[in-house]
Amino acid sequence: MVKIDETVFHRLRALLHELTGNDMEEIVPESDLEEDLGLNLDVDLSRLVEAVNREFEIHLSEKTVYQELTEEAHPSVAELAKLIYDEYELG
């Protein structure tokens, strides 16, 4: 299990709620972005990365996000939150 920053998670959960329409309670760190939240990374990645970059005032590239999230069999909210934290805190 990936350890994630609580503040980043709560902001990401609100963002994913806006993008997917899922209830906030359904969006947990273990949630699979595709299977549980209904995102299709092949189609929705651009919109997701744009929203994340705007919300967190960072610059993640679509290529990096796609590579990192698809390394695992099931791209999770926790994996995305870790990418955001690393970029947000570490630059």
Question: Does any domain span residue 1?
Answer: no
DSSP class of 72:
S
Please compute the mean of the pLDDT values over residues 76-84 and round it to a whole number. Answer: 95
Q: How far is CA 75 from CA 36, 57, 69, 91, in A?
A: 10, 22, 5, 22
Rounded distance between C-alpha atoms, residue 64 and residue 67, angstroms: 5
Please compute the mean of the pLDDT values over residues 56-85 and round it to a whole number. Answer: 92
Task: Please give the biggest Cα pair distance in the chain.
Answer: 31
Amino acid symbol at 33 = L
Specify the pTM: 0.92
**In the predicted structure, residue 70 carries a pLDDT above the cut 70:** yes
The whole-number pLDDT of residue 36 equals 97
Question: Does any domain span residue 29?
Answer: yes
CATH of the domain at 85: 1.10.1200.10
Question: Does any domain span residue 25?
Answer: yes
Tens of pLDDT, residue by residue over 11-69, are: 999 999 999 999 999 999 999 999 999 999 999 999 999 999 999 999 999 999 999 99
Cβ atoms of 16 and 27 closer than 8 Å: yes
Q: How many separate domains does the chain show?
A: 1
H-state helical runs in the chain: 6-20, 41-56, 62-71, 77-90
Domain of 66 in residue numbering reads as 6-90
Question: Does any domain span residue 56?
Answer: yes
Question: Does any domain span residue 19?
Answer: yes
Question: Does any domain span residue 64?
Answer: yes
Question: Does any domain span residue 18?
Answer: yes
What confidence tier does 1 reach under pLDDT thresholds 50, 70, 90? low
